[in-house]
Amino acid sequence: MNILDTAPVDTLLTDDLLRRLDVPGPRYTSYPTADRFVEAFGAEAYRQALRQRAQGAVVGGAQPLSIYVHIPFCEQLCYYCACNKIITKHKSRGAEYLLDLQREIELHAAELGRGQPVSQLHLGGGSPTFLSDEELAQLMAMLRAAFKLQPEAEISIEVDPRTATRERLRNLAAMGFNRVSFGIQDFDPEVQVAVHRVQSFDSVRELVAEARALRFESINADLIYGLPKQTPESFRRTIAQVAELRPTRVAMYAYAHLPQRFKPQRRIDDHALPTAEQRIQMLRAGLAGFVANGYTYIGMDHFALPGDALAIAKRQGRLHRNFQGYTTQPDCDLVSLGVSAIGRIGATYSQNAKTLPEYHDALAQGNFPIVRGLALTRDDLIRRAVIMALMCQGRVEFESIELAHLVKMREVFAPELEQLQPLQALGLVELGEREIQVTATGWFFVRAVAMVFDRHLQADRVRERFSRII
């Protein structure tokens, strides 16, 4: 059942709760989080993780992979952006980048063997559609030559509506893409000018209609609240327009204004940003608006129509989470390709070089471009299991953790269970003898619940590098 069916949003999200819990915190697309990666984990450690996977596949059969490809190029700068991107109009850079991706793909094929099954492929950025249709087709051919995309694989791509056309969507469908994500952010003209991302509602409506006609299995729309010039009233209009488009999924992110970390954000006028109270009103408007239009609240920032695979997975308790956010894919290894891409192999995380020269130089020398990463400890693995259970199912059953990791929850996590008491008093969790249950209200603040079990975060208390929970 949709947790919002039990009470109105305004009842669940009181002003007192929103004020108390409007604090920075990780999004937990991984645990430990990427800020904990170390340079001591490099290319050789990554190679060893790949070899261990390959050896395990020989014994027990290869489990399907997930693949992420980062395309860093954009033709125009969006002022709010915190992604790793390169602004350029020189299309020749795409062809050069494909040569490096080919080298990186071949390095993986050499360690894993060709034909590894792949159940999920995602192209992100930047703007993947910076590449021409011919270049995208070349990239897909390279991937198919090294890996085996399963017939039911989720194959998705992020599309910039400003540069996409109906013909381009038809070409993407012909290449095998079955999921598409449109970066909308906001439809208000003043907001679009303020963030340097102008696109009309009519143009996006045409693209969504074409994607639906082409029978893409999932059509996602990305929104951001908290942008300059936004008001609760203008954002309600955007919500209504997106609901009219009827995408199968909606991601509604809170804008994190961190100009000290992200240089493009320095072009945003701080005085044009909405107040904390206005942000709360926008959040409420989004939650109430999409639920009223028939969407299931998946968790954190995500909504999906009831028939979408993500909503079905939520109802059936099969929701998972990886570096791309909520997913239907089970806990699987993630091979990430491209500059700055973050991946996971076994009990390790890794990240590629963040600059093109460093990325290119490593590959030119025949090395993986890994510059940092992490080998998870036993404690990390136990805490990851607890945090992901909270983030995905909203429930931790002690027995399942104890059997999988040979620990006693009440002994190992005695301090954390004590720290949950105030959250229980606020009505966010229910603590039983053998389980932790996130409440309907707590689901909106599930990051705050998960943070209690984050040993690294509790140790240093330095949280300014994270976005705010609300």
List binding-site positions for S-adenosyl-L-methionine. Answer: 68, 80-82, 125, 158, 185, 197, 222, 256, 342
Query: DSSP H helical segments within 176-324, as ranges?
Result: 189-195, 201-213, 232-245, 276-292, 309-315
CA–CA distance, 29 with 85 (Å, rounded to integer): 20
> CA 384 to CA 31: how far, in whole Å?
5
Output the known binding site for [4Fe-4S] cluster. 74, 78, 81
66 contacts 118 by C-beta, under 8 angstroms: yes
Q: 223 burial class (0-12, 13-18, 19+ CB within 10 angstroms)?
A: buried
Strand partners, 321: 326
The Cα–Cα gap between 358 and 370 comes to: 10
Using DSSP's 3-state secondary structure scheme, residue 374 falls into: strand
- Tokens encoding 434: 């053998």
- The CA distance from 134 to 91, in Å, is 12
Q: How many angstroms separate the most distant Cα atoms in the chain?
A: 61
Distance CA 400, CA 403 (A): 5
Crossing angle, helix 201-213 and helix 232-245, to 10 degrees? Answer: 30
How far apart are the two ends of the chain, measured CA to CA in Å? 24
Which segments are annotated as binding site?
68, 74, 78, 80-82, 125, 158, 185, 197, 222, 256, 342
Q: Which amino acid is located at 161 in the chain?
A: P
Closest by CA to 175, choosing from 224, 233, 134, 203, is 134
307, with CB counted inside 10 A (0-12, 13-18, 19+), is exposed
CA 254, CA 282: separation in Å to the nearest integer? Answer: 10
User: 87: which DSSP letter?
Assistant: E
